[in-house]
Structure 1
Amino acid sequence: MKRRRPAPNGTVFLVPLRDSGYAIGVLARATGEGHAFGYFFGPRVSKASDVDMAKLLPKNALLVGKFGDLEILRKNWPIAGALKDWAPADWPMLPMARIDEVAGRAWLATYDDSFDCIEETEIDVDTASRHPYDRMMGAGAVEIRLTSLIRSSEES
């Protein structure tokens, strides 16, 4: 069953942090079926008007990956605006790694914009650690991970 997209690609939204304030997300892809791919940023902000859109560049992301879009649809992750001149090529769906730690093996998967795996290659575990993890993060996982990443950046 197809449902509507949570927002257009290039939309900037706020992710509530578990201690206070918000992290910033950029919706790079959404299927309309609950799957999304995004780039997530600090620093911590308290409201949408605190977001500096000019600093939202893929290379500055604290976290990149697939996530469920339900909290955007429910408006629990509020929309802060949209990136001007957003282009999909500038915000690619990056290859993502899976690691089987028991076997000591890893794979790098490439997905198309529909979230279909179009290529998978075995790579070494060390190389895999330099790529986003290939998993679908729930809203809680995104919030907890961003809270930890932003807190760590504030402490250093």
Structure 2
Amino acid sequence: MKRRRPAPDGTVFLVPLRDGGHAIGVLARATGEGHAFGYFFGPRVSRGSDVDMAKLVPGNAILVGKFGDLEILRKNWPVVGALENWAPERWRMLPMARVDEATGRAWLATYDDSFACIEEREIDAEMATKHPYDRMMGAGAVEIRLTGLIRAAEKS
């Protein structure tokens, strides 16, 4: 059963951090079936009015990947606006890597906008570190990962 999309592509939302404040997310793709792909940004902000939309460009993202959209639907990750002149070709679903830790083998997968894998090829494990990790992150995983990334950036 198809459920509703959490928001239109290009929507900007806040992700609560575990130690206070929020990270910023941009919804790049959503299936309407719970799967989403987004770009996530620091620095830590207190509220939606603190978001500098001009700085939200793909190259500034601190985390990119697939995630579940339920917290956007539930409004626990509040929507703060939308990017002007949304251009999906600038906010692509990037190829994502996964590594089999037991064997050291790695693969790079390319997905279409419906999250169907359209190509997969074996790559060097070192090359895998240069790509987003291929997994579906739950809300808690996104919040924990962003908390760590932003905390580390604040300390450096």
TM-score range, shorter chain: over 0.9
- 3-state SS of 2:103 partner: coil
Uncovered stretches (5+) of structure 1, i.e. residues with no partner: none
Q: What's 2:36 paired with?
A: 36
Uncovered stretches (5+) of structure 2, i.e. residues with no partner: none
* TM-score of the two chains, using structure 2 as the length reference: 1.00
Q: Which amino acid is the alignment partner of residue 142 of structure 1?
A: V
For residues 83-107 of structure 1, give each alpha carbon's deviation from its aligned partner in whole angstroms, at most 9, with x where no partner exists: 0001110000000001001101000
Work out the CA distance in 2 between the residues paired with 1:100 and 1:18.
30
Q: What's 1:19 paired with?
A: 19
Work out the CA distance in 1 between the residues paired with 2:112 and 2:51.
29
- 3-state SS of 2:76 partner: coil
Q: What's 1:47 paired with?
A: 47
Work out the CA distance in 2 between the residues paired with 1:134 and 1:123.
13
- 3-state SS of 1:99 partner: strand
Q: What's 2:148 paired with?
A: 148
* TM-score of the two chains, using structure 1 as the length reference: 1.00
For residues 37-84 of structure 1, give each alpha carbon's deviation from its aligned partner in whole angstroms, at most 9, with x where no partner exists: 000000000000000000000000000000000000000000010000
Question: Which structure 2 residues correspond to residues 122-141 of structure 1 after superposition, within 5 A?
Answer: 122-141=122-141
Work out the CA distance in 1 between the residues paired with 2:149 and 2:46.
17
Q: What's 2:58 paired with?
A: 58
